[in-house]
Structure 1
């Protein structure tokens, strides 16, 4: 396959993969997570996802990317998807809420990817956006990726603070000490 044909084929694969992953994330909003009401912070994330999806689609199709960047970005997206579904599988019986939900947590998941990292969904989202950003091969993609990192870190830290006000506080503190925040901790696993 000629270089230009390879780039176009990868543009198609990256577009389809990215849209399927965004679709998975959208499905999880109804099929996995639940909250009594939609928090404002969650609405901000949803708007950012929509805008970034359109922006990255524009970048993929308007700029020529090197094949290694496309392949590496695609590999990151696939890794993110695997982490996402592993986290879905591990937390399907828990009643996880939307990001920025003001209610206190009433369950603690410590299996699957939660064995290594406390926020595997946010980890998967960050890896996905970073992968798609790499696949666009432009510095402009870093802006939304950094914004997502900031948003997800703020959401995760807020969730961790809420555990201190629940009967799960001591258990969560022990869990927090043995696991990574967004990056896995494998020691003693």
Structure 2
């Protein structure tokens, strides 16, 4: 889950090179295999097939991933190809490979595992239905904000890097009018919603770690952009807040 602050690009919507097409197909295949893998993880840890909230999580994640090509293919297919590179792309900051892997990979999956084991062995008390539903609503809001940020930023890459080859500029549209890192706000919201959706108090431990790392990533990325992205310092003077209006 990564967002570099860049602005308008004018990709040709109607021309997709063979390399871009291959990258898009690869992204779709990886996403599909990922959802199968996530489903198997949840089934194995909970020990049964009928975990309602686990399947609702899978459904929400599937819709979220399916929205990527639906949104990007009409407006910027090259961005989907860029995101296929993941955090291992050329030029990605070394520190980001570690931070992103933990924040968007290890700890979210750990929260699902913990929640599944909690459900299986009844470590914590059953949550009220309202808690599950609130978690689902917050998760969807987080996904929507993330997707809005992605649609508004032509350089919303997976890894923190300056994309000079793509003519990188500062994003000022959509949620970037109010926050410098709206995609991370969406990611944090969806992470913190997971324990409520899955009904596990213990799942707050890995989700809190994930949220803390996204905050650290915001700080480090912001410093990178201040130093390396032309126009970002001026943008930061106008858009003062990184994640939370009035606070930071």
TM-score by length of 1: 0.72
More off after superposition, 123-132 vs 105-114: 105-114
Pairing 1:98–2:158 present? yes
- Between 1 and 2, higher relative CO (CA 8 Å, sep ≥ 6) is seen in 2
Backbone CA RMSD of aligned residues: 3.3
- In structure 2, what is the Cα distance between the partners aligned to 1:113 and 1:42? 22
Q: Please give the residue correspondences for 1:39-188 in structure 2 after superposition, counting only pairs within 5 Å.
A: 39-45=97-103, 46-59=105-118, 63=122, 64-91=126-153, 93=154, 95-99=155-159, 101=160, 103-104=161-162, 106-166=168-228, 167-177=230-240, 180-184=241-245
Structure 2: 5+ residue runs without aligned partners? 1-49, 73-78
Length, aligned pairs only: 172
What's the CA shift string for 1:29-62, capped at 9, x where partnerless? 9655353266233333323233333333444566
The answer to whether the Cα contact below 8 Å between 2:176 and 2:182 also exists between their aligned partners in 1 is yes
Q: Matched residues in 2 for 1:53 and 1:87: separation?
A: 25
Distance 1:12 1:42 in 2: 24
* 1:61–1:107 distance in 2 versus 1, CA, 3 Å: farther
TM-score if structure 2 supplies the norm length? 0.57
Residue ranges of structure 1 left out of the alignment (5+ in a row): 1-7
- For residue 36 of structure 1, the aligned residue among 90, 110, 133 is 90
Deviation at 1:156, TM superposition (A): 0.6
